[in-house]
Amino acid sequence: MSSGEAGISKPDHKGSIPSRSVMAFLQARMGSSRLPGKVLMPIRGYTVLERAIGRLRAAPVVDNVAVLTTRLREDDAIVEEAYRLGVVVYRGSESDVLARFYEASREFQPEVIIRATADNPLIEIGSIDRIVKALREENLDYCMERNLPYGAATEAITVGALAKVHRLAQEVPHREHVTLYIKEHPECFCTSLPAAPEAFRYPQIRLTIDTPEDFIFMDQLIRRMPETRHPLPLSDYLPFCLKNLHEGECKALA
């Protein structure tokens, strides 16, 4: 597939997509104003992208994972890495990320989408199961846990709600940020934002990679942990983060 084409290739590691499936859509691109190529930077032998994929795959409720990237030639490297990891890819618009998600949902046809971003290598695995359970039991359109460390959360959205957002959202920020329209128009959707379990309720901890300083901290954090199994639960990393908050190693949100 050339870099100018949209679409998919290669089956996911779990084969065909079952009905009522939950599929994680991992948003990834090489371009970044602060830290270009960050998603393919390695930490202890695993790229940041691979670490995010591994955590999504570890969630019992997730049936399949897809990497959603752009048609830009620079993102061919992301496609190659996804193929190496046995993950399907959808390539779409660079700027209209909402359209990219909507088109991928039409292609793969899951029931529920987990939205995640590839600059978050320490996604809270258990949260994925909790938000999907809430989505189904409460018949929601959208669910996300509040007060997790910044970069640990994912979002659950039904395909029907995504299609509605795609139809209604017209402003540029709503096209660039997939779920922003839902957050700004909660009256149009059935949503829930439950608080995370108390053991994970540390919004002051920053666990995303957006700057060189973020990467240095994440690299140091992961290297300090004996990865006897992969992926480790997020709870294993939190004591170090909490201990070092006062030293500025684990930066609070601005």
In a domain? residue 3: no
Q: Assign residue 94 the CATH number of its domain.
A: 3.90.550.10
Residue type for position 211? T
In a domain? residue 254: no
Q: What's the confidence (pLDDT) of residue 252?
A: 43
Q: What's the confidence (pLDDT) of residue 137?
A: 96
Torsion of CA 72, 73, 78, 82, to 10 degrees: 100
Q: What's the confidence (pLDDT) of residue 34?
A: 84
In a domain? residue 171: yes
In a domain? residue 46: yes
In a domain? residue 2: no
In a domain? residue 5: no
- List, for the chain, all residue ranges whose pLDDT scores fall below the cut of 70: 1-20, 245-254
In a domain? residue 11: no
Range of the domain at 242: 22-247
Indicate the pTM of the whole model: 0.88
- Burial annotation 162-178 (CB, 10 A radius, 16+ → b, else e): bebbbeebeeeebbeeb
Three-class DSSP category at 132: helix
In a domain? residue 231: yes
Q: How many structural domains compose the chain?
A: 1
Pairing of strands 142-143, 191-192: parallel
Q: What's the confidence (pLDDT) of residue 20?
A: 62
